[in-house]
């Protein structure tokens, strides 16, 4: 359960009882990230409009005794797209099968998953923008008509056979909605964008996670973690665990503002939540390209990083914070970025 790092699909039975539930429980015992996930819409913190949309769609579907429309979530990593997929399955009382775009290399990979889905099951596909074209075309009739077409033989002997599927719910997640083809986007009935979280919601998440982890945290400590978490719940939980370790070994056992400051300074996370890679990107533009504009590929080459990593993991927060802008000519740092490093624009140009 969780984000798809392995590139393999995972089938999970979220109904009570049975071997699959035992497997889920075992995973929860061995993975704190899983145990920190909310299990229902009621537990979910933040994204109020998205949650309301889902609550209405799920309740209406349950009343009609049919699956809800296919759902597409768009937004930066770590905002809860995978968690929401599990919650949808839990609220509907059905199984969930998890896979990702890169894992589905050919139509047969998807076909094997689709033919094993039961009535109302959830199929969650992460990184949908990375689906191969041939797999995407298999999805069209599956999503629209709950059927897939087989082609037997070739040439004049070619024969087509339509295989009927059980009605299912496709939940897709992407960080790049613009990279999805129009025919695929149009087959989703619900399209919602997840935005960065406000600090108050992140504080609530930090306190909730601390309670689950059985660690004491005061309000100032929770605010300090939230402030440095880039508007992202996943980062709240990651930083909380690092601060927990620090306060256990070098602190008083209670997470307060001072402890958070010392622990995250050690982790390379500054007061704005910028990581070492964030600062390297901004300084590269300032030091090597006089503040920009410069293309993302040139920045990636300078930093020896993949451009996709910078676009998906680094840029969204820097843009949100007003430290970076995109122009038709490339990326530029802002005056606010210069100030963050204690520089003037003139120093960046000539220093």
Q: Which residues are catalytic?
A: 81-82, 126, 175, 234
Cα 316 to Cα 77: distance, rounded to the nearest angstrom: 10
SS3 313: helix
User: Are 213 and 244 spatial neighbours (Cβ–Cβ below 8 Å)?
Assistant: yes
Q: Before 120, cis peptide (omega within 30)?
A: no
Alpha helices by DSSP H, listed for the chain, are: 18-30, 32-35, 48-64, 81-92, 107-114, 133-145, 182-185, 199-212, 219-227, 233-250, 257-267, 276-289, 296-303, 307-309, 315-320, 335-340, 345-350
Say how many C-beta atoms besides its own lie within 10 A of residue 99's C-beta. Answer: 21
Kindly state the tokens that stand for 6.
Answer: 């392995």
* Sign of the dihedral through C-alpha 90, 91, 96, 99: negative
DSSP letter at 157 equals G
Q: Mapping DSSP to helix (H, G, I), strand (E, B) and coil, where does residue 97 land? A: strand
Cα-based distances in Å from 285 to 137, 176, 270, 310, 324? 41, 24, 19, 13, 10
CA-nearest of 149, 194, 196 to 171 is 194
The owner of tokens 């074209």 is 133
The span from the CA of 242 to the CA of 260, in Å, is: 9
* Helical (H) or strand (E) element with 73: strand 71-74
Q: What is the dihedral of CA 16, 17, 22, 23, to 10 degrees?
A: -70
Question: Residue 329 class from Cβ within 10 Å (0-12 exposed, 13-18 middle, 19+ buried)?
Answer: exposed
CB atoms within 10 A of CB 321: 19
């Amino acid at each position: 359960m969780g984000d798809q790092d392995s590139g393999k699909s995972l089938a999970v039975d979220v109904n009570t009882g049975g071997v699959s539930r035992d497997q889920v429980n075992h995973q929860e015992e061995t993975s704190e990230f899983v145990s920190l996930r909310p299990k229902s819409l009621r537990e979910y913190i933040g994204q109020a409009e998205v949650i309301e949309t889902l609550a209405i769609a799920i309740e209406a579907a349950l009343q009609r005794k049919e699956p809800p429309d296919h759902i597409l979530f768009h937004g930066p990593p770590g905002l809860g797209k995978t968690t929401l997929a599990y919650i949808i399955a839990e609220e509907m009382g059905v199984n969930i099968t998890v896979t990702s775009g890169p894992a589905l290399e050919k139509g047969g990979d998807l076909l094997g998953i689709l033919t094993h889905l039961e009535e109302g099951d959830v199929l969650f596909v992460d990184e949908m923008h990375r689906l191969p074209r041939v797999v995407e075309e298999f999805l069209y009739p599956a999503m629209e008509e709950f059927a897939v077409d087989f082609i037997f033989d070739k040439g004049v002997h070619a024969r087509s056979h339509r295989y009927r599927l059980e009605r299912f719910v496709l939940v897709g997640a992407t960080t790049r909605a613009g990279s999805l083809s129009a025919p695929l986007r149009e087959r989703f009935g619900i399209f919602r964008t997840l935005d960065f979280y406000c600090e108050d919601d992140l504080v609530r998440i930090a306190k909730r996670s601390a309670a689950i982890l059985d660690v004491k945290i005061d309000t100032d400590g929770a605010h300090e973690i939230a402030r440095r978490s880039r508007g992202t719940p996943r980062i709240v939980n990651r930083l909380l665990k690092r601060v927990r370790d620090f306060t256990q070994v070098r602190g008083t056992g209670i997470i307060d503002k001072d402890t958070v400051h010392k622990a995250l300074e050690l982790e390379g996370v500054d007061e704005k939540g910028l990581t070492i890679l964030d600062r390297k990107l901004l300084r590269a533009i300032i030091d090597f390209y006089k503040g920009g504009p410069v293309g993302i590929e040139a920045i990636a080459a300078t930093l020896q990083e993949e451009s996709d990593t910078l676009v998906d993991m680094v840029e969204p927060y820097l843009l949100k914070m007003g430290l970076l802008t995109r122009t038709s000519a490339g990326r530029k740092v802002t005056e606010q970025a210069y100030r963050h490093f204690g520089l003037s624009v003139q120093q960046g140009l000539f220093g």
